[in-house]
Amino acid sequence: MHCIDDPLHDLRNQMENTLLKLEPRLRAVEIEIDERPKPGLLVSFIMTCHPRMG
């Protein structure tokens, strides 16, 4: 379990907010922290983008 002030969660939230602010075609962005990043990576994220329809 992560602390609320976890820097990775802060980074994830900043990325989500920035993408939604700068890309009007997005309805939502979900970014998960990959708990098991590939060898050689310190951190890894999984991003899902939900476009606006219409």
pLDDT digits (tens, 9 = 90+) for 1-44: 455 569 999 999 999 999 999 999 999 999 999 999 999 999 99
Quote the CA–CA distance of 20 and 48 in Å, as a whole number: 12
Does some domain include residue 36? yes
Please give the tally of structural domains in the chain. Answer: 1
In a domain, 18, yes or no: yes
Q: Is residue 30 part of a domain?
A: yes
Given this model, what pLDDT does residue 26 score? 98
pTM of the model: 0.77
Asked if residue 1 belongs to a domain, the reply is no
Q: Are 50 and 26 within 8 A, CB to CB?
A: yes
In terms of residue numbers, what domain contains 28?
7-51
